[in-house]
Amino acid sequence: MTAVGTHCPYCALQCATTLHPVGRPGAVAVQPRDFPTNRGGLCRKGWTAPEVLTVPDRLTRPLVRDAAGELVETSWDEALDFVADRIRVLQAAHGNDAVAVFGGGGLTNEKAYALGKFARVTLRTSNVDYNGRFCMSSAAAATNRAFGVDRGLPFPLEDLGGAGAILLVGSNLAETMPPAVAHLKAARAAGGLIVVDPRRTATAGLAEDGAGVHLQATPGSDLALVLALTHVILQEGLGDTAYLEARTDDPDGLYRSTAAWWPERAERITGVPASTIRQAARVLAAAAPMHGGAGAFILTGRGAEQHSKGTDTVTACINLALALGLPGRLGSGYGCITGQGNGQGGREHGQKADQLPGYRSIADPAARSYIAGVWGVEPDELPGPGRSAVELINALGTPDGPRALLVHGSNLVVSAPRLASVRERLAALDLLVVADVVPSETALLADVVFPVTQWAEEEGTMTSLEGRVLRRRAAVPAPGEVRSDLAVFAGLAERLRPSIPFSTDPAEIFEELRAASAGGIADYSGISWSRLDAGEALFWPCPAEDHPGTPRLFADTFGTPDGRARVIAVDHQPVADDLRDDAPLYLVTGRLLQHYQSGAQTRRVAELTEAEPEVFAEIHPRVAAQLGVADGRPVRLATARGSMVLPARVTADVRPDTVFVPFHYGGEGSVNELTNDALDPISRMPEFKVCAVDLTPAWAVVR
């Protein structure tokens, strides 16, 4: 086979790559391609991604749990028949909502679309959501209510390259998306890189080394910090009053909501000196268009969003951007850094509990009528909004909850919060079905496992963090009896509701997706595979085949009914599980350069596991001295939800009141045993990022 141009399977940067089939069947070599997001770069995960294609424990045949409780190989027909029969029985006894579907932000657009359609048309269940609820749902909620549109970056990533200042709130780009760091170069050189993080991450180090600013705030206090930055901008006359008058619905609302947030007050909550807050605000303002600066951007990541007040924190960041007159201005703006590979496209086309394709609301009668027409059903047949991810998990196996769960593209037993409860709920199910590429922790609990294709074995489209639609291309055939997730949906649909067939051809499904998205917020109707294959960089919305796409949103108007951005007053709140006498430190979680998400893929790559083989707890030297704990010695972490023992990594890069643990590890190394599932009331995002923890020595050998 010849070389194939495609994109990396991991994060939403979607670095362009070329794959060359080599050696044994299924193996490929990878080379980066020049592309606006990665500029010919590739991170360590991207370089080693081909190894996952041929790992020894790759799933290649369907598995069914036998009477002895073991997963044994079976045929596709037998596995599909078994699942379909169980679904019929459970829905006959308990109603359509007895079956739930859980998707993933790494699925192609075609898979995400088919999953949502399958849930609502074949199963006729309202119980469908996905792990993107854990990723950027707070940013989506905030941008929707402020701008009327949710697109992670409403501008191309390369626009950052000319900025004089960039504020990163809760994002560690240098480790999560290393090739993106090239776009920070100008801001860093100008001393305008400002990073908000309780740790001195690699990204915070770039800011400090470049004469920028590291705002090392107390965990859970980002909202107070941003309110104080906005206070300085407005009270010192650095805001763009003309922009606020012309482009927002309530310019005075910003003044009212931040008037009491003087930096000295914020210092008491955040631990960031008032002088440093003022310095950061002035650096941002100097780069803003109204002051003749080179441009400024405010970007948020999971550190700002994965809180019970994440939507309000992102809203505060948007308000700060509005105060400076950034959104819609060329070379400036606000954006959210999407995490998962198709985190953007994955939530646009129907696998989210409250959405239909094209980013339409499932509660909107006009949207329901349109999509029902595309799908060939009556609008009344479509279920209404369902439970969000955590609420869905918590309902599994309960008297009023789903009795069966189908999981595609997610490893819940590592990635969800409060894992003891997650395992309990999965165990209470009558049927657990998992489609995966390897025997993940969740797959090993399933009654049926479907082996499905990986990135280099499939065709489709993905949507990057910028809203740029990209082609994924197959370079090698799938091994054994592996089939696409699309084949799972089609096979079950044929058995459960054959009157509405499902295609297994991603090109056909994309054509249907185009029609379903037409007229919606995320309009793909003008994007065809032929245009993508011809090398066009197409950003949605793209409503016609002669439309060039929309790289930059909001230049003239916002997506609200009157075209003005909404100013929404927000205020600081403490974390849901705050410090107390028996838990005097903050536990925060995050990512490592070497691993990705639940680690099901990267923990199978020798080079990556050798670099970071096991979970650890970063603690400050002062805390280590108080406990008498040396580097590498075991410590016990305990929260209200559980405890774990792991080696200490002593470093001054973390605050003295903070313990950091990466979330990529399974089994006894799963930090989500400890995390809080308290939800943001708007986005329904769980508070992964911070909770109170007790830390004590554990004088035992860590396994």
How many Cβ atoms sit within 10 Å of the Cβ of residue 454?
21
How many Cβ atoms sit within 10 Å of the Cβ of residue 264?
12
* Cα dihedral 591, 592, 596, 602 sign: negative
Helix (H) or strand (E) holding 485: helix 485-496
Question: How does strand 165-169 pair with strand 296-300?
Answer: parallel
Strands of 517-562, DSSP E:
538-539
Alpha-carbon distance of 564 to 253, in angstroms, equals 14
Domains of the chain: 4-54 (2.20.25.90), 63-134+350-505 (3.40.50.740), 137-336 (3.40.228.10), 585-697 (2.40.40.20)
Extract the tokens encoding 297: 């951007």
The answer to whether residues 668 and 661 touch, using CB atoms and an 8 Å cutoff, is: no
445-450's contacts with Cβ under 8 Å and 24+ in sequence apart are: 445/413, 446/63, 446/65, 446/71, 446/407, 447/64, 447/65, 448/62, 448/63, 448/64, 448/65, 448/79, 448/82, 448/83, 449/59, 449/62, 449/63, 449/71, 450/62, 450/79, 450/483, 450/485, 450/488
Distances, alpha carbon 428 to alpha carbons 19, 72, 88, 389, in Å = 43, 21, 19, 17
Stretch 194-209: mean pLDDT, rounded?
96
Alpha-carbon distance of 190 to 166, in angstroms, equals 10
Alpha-carbon distance of 630 to 621, in angstroms, equals 9
Helix (H) or strand (E) holding 79: helix 76-94
Name the strands in the sheet holding 63-65, side by side, starting at the edge strand that comes first in the sequence: 71-73, 63-65, 448-451, 431-436, 404-408, 99-103, 128-130
Query: Which pLDDT value is given to residue 2?
Result: 83
Alpha-carbon distance of 138 to 681, in angstroms, equals 10
Helix (H) or strand (E) holding 195: strand 193-196
Residue-wise pLDDT for 231-240, tens only, equals 999 999 999 9
Q: Is residue 703 packed enough to be buried (19+ CB in 10 Å), middle (13-18) or exposed (0-12)?
A: exposed
Instruction: With a cut of 90, say whether residue 536 has pLDDT above it.
Output: no
The answer to whether residues 353 and 128 touch, using CB atoms and an 8 Å cutoff, is: yes
Extract the tokens encoding 170: 């809760």
Q: Assign 702 a pLDDT band (cuts: 50, 70, 90).
A: very low
Alpha-carbon distance of 199 to 207, in angstroms, equals 13
Stretch 124-153: mean pLDDT, rounded?
95
First to last CA, the chain: 45
Distances, alpha carbon 213 to alpha carbons 166, 176, 195, in Å = 10, 20, 6
Query: Which pLDDT value is given to residue 494?
Result: 98
Q: Assign 703 a pLDDT band (cuts: 50, 70, 90).
A: very low
The partner residues of 648 in beta bridges, in order of sequence, read 617
Q: Is residue 410 packed enough to be buried (19+ CB in 10 Å), middle (13-18) or exposed (0-12)?
A: buried
Query: Which pLDDT value is given to residue 701?
Result: 42
Instruction: Output b/e per residue, 132-148; b: 16+ Cβ within 10 A.
Output: bbbbbbbbbbbbbbbbb
Residue-wise pLDDT for 74-115, tens only, equals 999 999 999 999 999 999 999 999 999 999 999 999 999 999
The answer to whether residues 392 and 386 touch, using CB atoms and an 8 Å cutoff, is: yes
Residue-wise pLDDT for 16-41, tens only, equals 999 998 877 889 999 999 999 999 99
Mean predicted lDDT score pLDDT of the chain: 96
Residue type present at position 368 = R
Distances, alpha carbon 683 to alpha carbons 145, 151, 391, in Å = 11, 15, 12
Query: Which pLDDT value is given to residue 1?
Result: 59
pTM (predicted TM-score):
0.96
Residues 6+ apart with CB under 8 A from 626: none
Query: Which pLDDT value is given to residue 449?
Result: 98
